[in-house]
Chains A and B, each alone.
Chain A
Amino acid sequence: QQPVQSPQAVILREGEDAVINCSSSKALYSVHWYRQKHGEAPVFLMILLKGGEQKGHEKISASFNEKKQQSSLYLTASQLSYSGTYFCGTHTTDSWGKFQFGAGTQVVVTP
């Protein structure tokens, strides 16, 4: 089952913050975050495994709440280069190999 992402889209001014949420109805083994620029391939940002760890990539960080089967991606002090569509991808504990993505969150950062 596909994870559910929210919001669908967000518009930011440079320097503003945003949070993108990803939730699953099934127990998660891992959550991955990818960013896709228009017409390009998705690019890996970070991976979070069971254990509730938090990771960071420049000013982009993420958390994983194993109990709630939720992950959040935090865009801090956004830059123009952060524009793109962000996808969370999940592996559930009962579906080995079935790596599904959410519908995506379109992020537009304006000057």
Chain B
Amino acid sequence: EAGVAQSPRYKIIEKRQSVAFWCNPISGHATLYWYQQILGQGPKLLIQFQNNGVVDDSQLPKDRFSAERLKGVDSTLKIQPAKLEDSAVYLCASSLKGTAYEKLFFGSGTQLSVL
């Protein structure tokens, strides 16, 4: 079974530039998550989609971050403009139904460095 695919693997940009990350969840998984993981910390949820609708985006900095999940499958996360503190690994995860206690499957992430 193919896992969660993310690209690019690494990205280096200068502050104030924009960047986009792509995620392809496990086939058939209704729920998709974007997490931000700063070095030395655990992942922090940015946004959760159920099919193509947003369930939780309470921790998404909406002035600069945006995300979409068209057709309820692939998703993109965009940062515009980037700040130095956005340097982190951006992890995408998916789960089958998004119900409580369900196992999450994570991709390997995109490591972003903002200079």
A and B from one complex: no
Query: A residues near B, CB below 8 A?
Result: none
